[in-house]
Structures are given as structure tokens and as C-alpha cells.
Structure 1
């Protein structure tokens, strides 16, 4: 890492070395730079996995009034787990910087690839399949991207597509009483006409429009709406004035016309796209079963190293498990969007697993997978799923991480709120002034980070 960047990364002075972020990630070369962030290639020192590390300046965020945006981006990326969406592994922070540790897309931007020449229809369709699968998944989770473009579509080492940059995304709770979103955002050439009309818009419908522009670019090699004069380009978008290349097949021509329909009410929907004649060719129906794409509802592989088969956490794991600690109180609101809750208990992992099994049987739930350090519980008709993992915090304490997904069921019973959460709160360990098992020096180091590990005990 260049000397000019060395001061940007906190290192573990006693045990780490220069260029190692929080003792966990080696920081490599700069791969991208924007107005508020720099992106570096990194490596997880524990697994050797390549990662991307986005470094955001808190001061610049404050000056730009973008604190709410970054909170929302973190909340959204924690919510999404899809094979065609860049994964956020964790968020770390110091007093001046925020660090997004994300999946590294080795293939770079789709924009770079298509700028060298248009794609054939088969390749365009392959990427459009992956794009629609990711966008449909986002919509099913109440997330609207609002800035879809080839620059925000990355490629992994297999050249599969990965959607990224959720900085302008919206959640359903931002919809106004009129049922619409109203914030003007997006990239000019990809923005939908109803956004330009400034009368409110449906987040799903404007994402579909942007997908249409992307598909046009993949097939044609140029933009459908383009002009050196921005206002002239906006008029073309508003009127829907574009010409489809002569080499375009009739089926693709019909799909592009429906995608770039200026009337959002008659514009094709994600569900209709999936059944379109051109789109269906070579499409795996599993990609559109969005309710089954919950990879965060899977119990991870057993890589435990504790004597009792329970994972043992180090100081940095403890810190990274606490949003309040890492982010210095900046992102407290983000937690309400997250489906992850953490509890610390003096119960053993085996005892917690045993109790949750009893609870599952009483509620007619199925234990789909079980380990000494965790289990997955499923309800009937896919109306409930929960993964519980346990990590050894100290010799006496275990941290429980629960991830849940719950949909309305016929009985209307809220299994999480009425049954599971009360049990976890009942066995919650009451924290003292310091954490048992951590030395004085470690507690002192935590105090210097301007927060308390009390935030670890429960993060609702």
C-alpha cells in the first residue's frame, strides 16, 4: 500500500502490521475512486479470500449531508443475499472512516466490457437473466435500486453479473401516502420519464425502465437516448424517441418496446418479463423463485475451532459484531431494517440448541439442520425460517446470532416476537462494567474507540 494511504487504515499496533485493517484484512492497491469513497482490493488474512474495501470519509459525508444515505445503504446491503448481488461481509469504522468489506468482483465493470463492442443476443440475454433475477429479488425484499446502469454491474471471476452500489436505493418505508417515491435521483441517460415529470414514481417501474436501457446498450452498443444537450436528451426520454438497431430480432424488439414504454402503468413488469418469449430462452426458473433465494437462511459449513465444537470469537470479532461499537452511534437506525439480532447468554450452546428444538416441536416447526453450535428451523409453507448460530465469546459467555424470515401465516401468529425472542431475552446475560474474560488492556482499548461493548449484548 502506498505511504500516502497508510494513515487511512487503523492497524492493530501490538500484533498487526502496516496495511492490515483491524488485524483482519490486508489492504492492497487502489482500484476505484469517487467523490466520497475509495475502493481498495484486499485479502482476508484468515481465509485468504479476496475482498473489496470501500473507504468512506465521515467528514465528507457530514459536509454532503449524506449520513442518512450511508445508513440506508448499509441496511440494504445487510438485507440482500443473492448470487447476482455484491455481498457486504461487514462494516467497520474508526472516528474518521467507514469501511465496507465486500465481495471482490475480479472481472470489473460490465460497462468496460460492452464499451469495446455490442454483445450478441445470447450473451445479452444471459446478463439480462441475471440482472432481472437480482432486481426481482430486491423488489421482493422492498428495495428499489434507482441507479441501475452498466457501471454499477460488476463481473466476477466467472464473468457472472453482480449488482452493486445501493447508495441511491430506496426502501418501502420511504413511499409517501400517495403510494409513490419522490426523490429525484439516477443517471440521466438511464432515468425513467416519470422521474423527470416530478410527480412521483413507482420504484419497481423505474428500475424496469433502467433495465430496458441496459438491455438496449448490450444489444446495440450505444444508448437509446443520447444527446450532448442534456435537455434535448430529457425530451427524447420523456417522449420515448429511440430507434432499435436493424439487427435486432423481432422478439427482442418487442421486449425492448415494452421495457421502454413511457407509460409506467402499461410498462412490462418483472413477472411479465420472466414469461416473455425472448427472455424465456435458456432461463432457469429457479432464478425467479425469489422467496427461495435466502442464502442468509442457510447454516454455514462447520469450521469451528472451539473445544466443545463452538466457534471462539476474538476481540475483533466482538467489535465487528456490534453496529453501535463500530459505527460510533452513526447508524443506529439501520438496525431496524436488519433481520439479524444478537444476544449474549451464560447458557451453553448445547443447552440453547436443545431448548430451541423443544420450542420448534411445540410450534409444529421443522429442524432442517442441526449442529452443536447452531440450527436451522423452518415453518410450514415457507412462512417462517430461522438460523441460529452460537459463538464462544468468553469461557463463560456465548453470543447467539439469530437470523429470521417471517411472512404472514393463516394463524396470524408472530412466532419470532411471541415465542423465540422472549426466550432469548429471558436467558440474556446482564453485562457488568467490563466484559468477563477480557483483560484490562483490552477493555481500555475498547473505551478508546468511543463506545462500549454493551452494544454487543443485544442489537435489536
Structure 2
């Protein structure tokens, strides 16, 4: 009988779906729900060797930031000492490229994919994210014929811009890349994405590229000149839209709001493609689930390892969700921990306000240098016998907060602490002796 490959007791890993330079993607299945997932397995040593750590950080960070129906969803990130496991939505239909290779698409289907692409790209741009490598190979199609944008490895975030507010890295796929990128000058990442969307629309309707030549330099010349011809089967409205997308001068190129107003684009447009209403509903649902939860939030094992160890630190990826704070682990139950925090706070004359189950806000007894100190304390579940407790400053002076953590919180809670952030993790046996194996639920934390 073939041995099952079980990951962290949560996923069963199956066949290989694809592989790259330093990562392999496997088909997986969530054990409890039976839901299919894709699991990207990245070897840490190869990432460090290839100096790709920043790219991996950026890709995971962006996937957490961009949650949209037409973007491949990041489910979870986990890690061991040697590998990172990125669990993503499994998209059954494969690449859009495979459909185009068989020939051009009918105009209505091409329009549907383009509408969904623009909806996703518009949402990415609203979050300050430029994809920079949009092409049919990076667009997946699910079993319901819905488009999913994937592969955020070349994504740009606002902090990558120079003082001129522009990006300067040459990247992307030559046939889909905008002329301003090839000119080795600064460029606006969102305008670059719009050019790529224009090339994609042309490809969907034509079945071939607008700018192509066996000689790469000749192809670049065509891109610089914006020299392309539309096949006779293109409708007048489609031609008009493409002519506004493939404009060499990026300042004159059509914007996404203008694309969405174009008659060709609006034809048969589904009301559900209102990007922001979709996302608002998702966020509203997530907040409702959080606020109604009667158990502590699950603290991703990857976040735990990143925050508590001195190894492969990707903790910065999660700071959009959680402010930097003082953190410790405990073997006590979440309920017992909350009771101890409240008792300690009252002993220090701090007011206690319950935010939701397993999350409280502590208010200082007097005005400080920058007003009254307010501290948030929250308990996260890592495993049945391990919880992570995090304190973060909500308001007040940073030095006063640091003093509160070091001189007040640590002594008051020392008997329920397993380890503080930055200290070595080691477990106690039944006699109270350290065994130093640092393992919880199959996840190495050394």
C-alpha cells in the first residue's frame, strides 16, 4: 500500500503539477474538507543561494494583500527549517494560454476574460500593486470559465519606486512588455500593466501576437513604434479599444476607468464584476467570522516560525495584518491566558476593554508623554498545547510601551510564558527539564 504524504497533519500532497528553478508545485487536498489545493514547495537554501528571498517575500506579501475573485487565492503559508509551503487555491482549468494555442476565441468569451482581467488588475492597482508580467501563461481558468491572475513573482509595490515615483527594473516577457520598460527609463507600473492587457486582448481575439518577429530587435522596433495590424474579423469597437490600449506614449494610454466605460467592454458586463463591492463583501464576511468566533484565531505556523526564530525571517510579510509587538508563547489554554492578562492589567491599574473573544485593549491609568498608553493583547492558537500571545501598542509613547512590556508584563506573566520572542524555543518534559527539540505539531521552530 502506497504511503500517503501528509503535510502538517492538514494536507495530503499528491502529483507534481509543475516546477521552476527553486520551487515545485504539487496537487494537494485538505484532509478535513477534502478541498483541492495547489502547494508550492520552496527550498530555503536554494532561495538564499539564488538571492531570490526578496522575490519570494514580495510574492507572498502581495498574494495576502490582493484578495479578489479573479486572483488566485493564497490560503496558507507554512514552513519547516528547510522548506516553505505556500498553499493556494487549485485552479482546475489550467492556463488561458492553452486555449489560445488552439486558436482565437469567440469575441464574447474574449470579452468575458478581458472584463475579469481588468477587474482584477484594477483591484491590484487600488492596493498599490503592479503585476508587471501579465500574459496568457500567467492567467488561469477555473472549471466555471472564470479567469484567475497568478504568478506575482515580478510584482512591484510602492516602496520599490525611486524618488521620481517611478519603477526602473527591466522585467516582463518581451512580447507583452510596454515600450517604456524597454527604453531603460523610469515607468509607471500600472500603465505598463494596461499595455500588457492590450496585448492580451489582441491575442485572445486574433490567436497570435500583435508584435512578432523572428529577430528580437525588429520586434522591439515594432513595439517602440506601436506598429501592428488588426485582422479583418475584429469588430470596429474592439479595434477602437485596442488602439487606445496599445499607445506608445504612456501618458496618452487609456486608463482603467476609461476602459470600463468603453462600449465594447460594457457589453454583457456582469454586475458582480464591481471589484470593490465584491471585496467589501469578502472583508465584511471575514470580520463577521472573526467577531463571532468563540475560539482563538489560528496563528499560522509560518508566521510563528518567522517571528520567533532567527532563521529565515519573513515576518515582515504579515505586518499589514498585525502591528509589530512583544510576543510570547504559552502552554496554557487561551482562556487561562486571557484571565491572567486581565488580572495583571488590573494589578497595574490599567483599564481592560474586551474587543472580542481572546482580544482585549488595556488602557493606562494616567496621561503619558504622548497621551494615555493603550495596548492591545491577543491570543492565537498554534497547536492544541501551544498559544501565541501578542501585545501591540495602539496609542501612546513607544518608550513607555517598551517599559510596560519589559518591566510590567514580563514579570507579571513569567509563570505562564514558554518563550519570549527572539529567545530560543525549548520544551519542558514532565520533570521540568529542557529537551530543546523545539518541535510543535510537526513544525520545526529552532
TM over 0.5: same fold? yes
Instruction: State the partner residue of 2:183.
Output: 197
Cα distance in 2 for residues equivalent to 1:103 and 1:356:
43
Within-5 A mapping of 1:12-31? 18-31=4-17
Cα distance in 2 for partners of 1:206, 1:444 equals 50
8 Å CA contact retained: 1:153, 1:163: yes
Aligned length: 395
Partners of 2:50 and 2:209 lie apart in 1 by 31
SS at match of 2:437: helix
Deviation at 1:100, TM superposition (A): 1.0
Query: Is the counterpart of residue 219 in structure 1 residue 205 in structure 2?
Result: yes
Which of 283, 291, 295 lines up with 1:310 in the alignment? 295
Residues 1:235 and 2:221 are matched in the alignment: yes
**Helix, strand or coil for the counterpart of 2:210?**
coil
Instruction: Answer whether contact 1:93 1:326 (CA < 8 A) is retained.
Output: no
CA contact (8 A) 2:426 2:435 kept: no
Which one of 423, 428, 444 corresponds to residue 437 of structure 2?
444
Q: Which moved more, 1:432-441 or 1:234-243?
A: 432-441
- Residue 41 of structure 2: SS of its match in structure 1? strand
Match of 1:83 in 2: 69
- Residue from 319, 327, 330 that aligns with 2:301: 319
Higher Cα radius of gyration: 2
In structure 2, the CA distance between the partners of 1:240 and 1:98, relative to structure 1 (3 Å rule), is same
Find the counterpart in structure 2 of residue 338 from structure 1: 320
The equivalent residue for 2:160 is: 174
Structure 1 counterpart of 2:19: 33
Deviations 1:343-383 (A, max 9, x none): 7772269x9xxx999688xxxxxxxxx8x6789xxxxxxxx
Judged with a 3 Å threshold, the aligned counterparts in structure 2 of structure 1 residues 222 and 331 are, in CA distance, closer, same or farther, namely farther
Select which of 19, 30, 41 maps to 1:44. Answer: 30
Tell me if the contact between 1:319 and 1:326 (Cα under 8 Å) persists in the aligned partners.
no
Return the offset for 1:171: 0.2
**Would the aligned equivalents of 2:301 and 2:443 in 1 still touch at CA under 8 Å?**
no
Check 1:38–1:393 CA distance in 2 against 1; reply closer, same or farther (3 A cut): closer
Matched with 2:286 is: 299
Aligned 8 A contact 1:105 1:157 in 2:
yes
CA displacement at 1:438 relative to structure 2: 9.3
Task: Quote the residue 2:373 is aligned against.
Answer: none
> Structure 1 residues 389 and 270 mapped into 2: Cα distance closer, same or farther (>3 Å)?
farther
Distance 1:140 1:216 in 2: 25
CA contact (8 A) 1:72 1:334 kept: no
Q: Per the alignment, do residues 123 and 337 of structure 1 end up closer, same or farther by CA in structure 2, a change over 3 Å counting?
A: farther
Q: SS state of the match for residue 89, structure 1?
A: strand
Name stretches of at least 5 consecutive residues in structure 2 with no aligned partner: 329-333, 343-349, 361-376, 420-424
1:418 CA drift (Å): 3.1
Unmatched segments (≥5 aa) in structure 1: 3-16, 361-369, 376-387, 403-415, 453-460
User: Partners of 2:314 and 2:49 in 1: how far apart?
Assistant: 20
